[in-house]
Amino acid sequence: MRNFLRILPLAALLAGAASSAQAQVELNFWDQVWGPGSYSQRAQQLVDDFNKSQDDIHVTYRSVPWANWYETYVTAIASGSAPDISTGAGFQAVQFYSMDAIYPVDDLVKEMEADGSAKDFAPGTLEAMKYDGHYVALPWAIDLRALFYRKDVLEAAGQKVPTNWDEFLAVSKAVTKDGIYGVVSSGDATGMHWILSAMINNGGGLFDADKKPNLTGEKSLAALNFLSSFATEKVLNPASAGYTNDDALGSFNAGKAAFYLSSPSTADQAGKEKDKVGVAPPLTSTSGEKGTIGWINNIMVYKQTEHPEETLKFLRWWSENQKVLWTEGKAGGIPARVSFQQDPYFTENDQVSFVIKNYLPIVKPMSATAGGTFPQLNEIDGDGFMMSLVQKLWQGQPAGEVVTPAQDHLQEIMEQ
17: buried, middle or exposed (CB in 10 Å: 19+, 13-18, 0-12)? exposed
Q: Give the tens place of pLDDT for each residue, 99-108.
A: 999 999 999 9
The pLDDT of residue 4 is above 50: no
Q: Is the pTM of this model over 0.85?
A: no
The pLDDT of residue 349 is above 70: yes
Q: For each of the domains in the chain, give its residue range(s) and CATH number, in order of start.
A: 25-143+295-351 (3.40.190.10), 146-262+383-415 (3.40.190.10)
Q: What integer pLDDT is reported at residue 9 of this predicted model? A: 53
The pLDDT of residue 64 is above 70: yes
38: buried, middle or exposed (CB in 10 Å: 19+, 13-18, 0-12)? middle
Q: With pLDDT > 70 as the criterion, what percentage of the chain qualifies?
A: 95
Q: Which of 13-17, 89-93, 195-199, 244-248 has the lowest mean pLDDT?
A: 13-17
Q: Please state, in angstroms and rounded to a whole number, the distance separating the CA atoms of residues 15 and 21.
A: 10
Q: With pLDDT > 90 as the criterion, what percentage of the chain qualifies?
A: 84
CA pseudo-torsion sign 30, 35, 41, 44: negative
Q: What is the mean pLDDT of the chain?
A: 93
Q: Please state, in angstroms and rounded to a whole number, the distance separating the CA atoms of residues 312 and 326.
A: 22
